[in-house]
Amino acid sequence: MAIWHSEYSLESLNAHSHGTLAEVLGIRFIEIGEDFIRATMPVDARTRQPFGLLHGGASVALAETLGSTAANLCCTPGREYAVGLEINANHVHSVRAGEVTGVARPLHRGRSSQVWEIRIYDDSKRLVCVSRLTCAVIAQAQAPSVA
């Protein structure tokens, strides 16, 4: 059984990214599994640092996009939403070109907090970055919609 509050489509998740940093960086959601979501990001002029490598901040942006989206998919629309409290990242391999793929999976889904692990891989399936995002779950009568 899926962990998501409702059924969501890739089209709705990608449309929700319109006008955001995710759109600027070329982040695209490509899969919604029973307990994970997956997205890709190009390694190009938008996401490289001056030495030609994938910028660590771009990896963190991908991780936070995945983790916060996943956290919000687990919230009750209109009653609560999740916001990031803390994120960390270990950059373990460099990438110069191609595309990276991130996968977010829950470590903890509680009533007031959630913790997500996001692993980012290059085209050769080598681990590039591992990140952990902690989110607060906030109750609100008019919570923003995720999808």
> HEC string of 76-104?
CCCCEEEEEEEEEEEECCCCCCEEEEEEE
Structural contact between residues 103 and 66, judged by C-beta atoms closer than 8 angstroms: yes
Instruction: Report, as residue numbers or ranges, the catalytic residues.
Output: 64
Place of tokens 């070329």: 26
Can you tell me the distance from the alpha carbon of 49 to that of 16, in angstroms, rounded to the nearest whole number?
27
Can you tell me the distance from the alpha carbon of 86 to that of 115, in angstroms, rounded to the nearest whole number?
9
Q: Where are the beta strands (DSSP E) in 1-147?
A: 28-32, 37-43, 80-91, 98-109, 113-121, 127-139
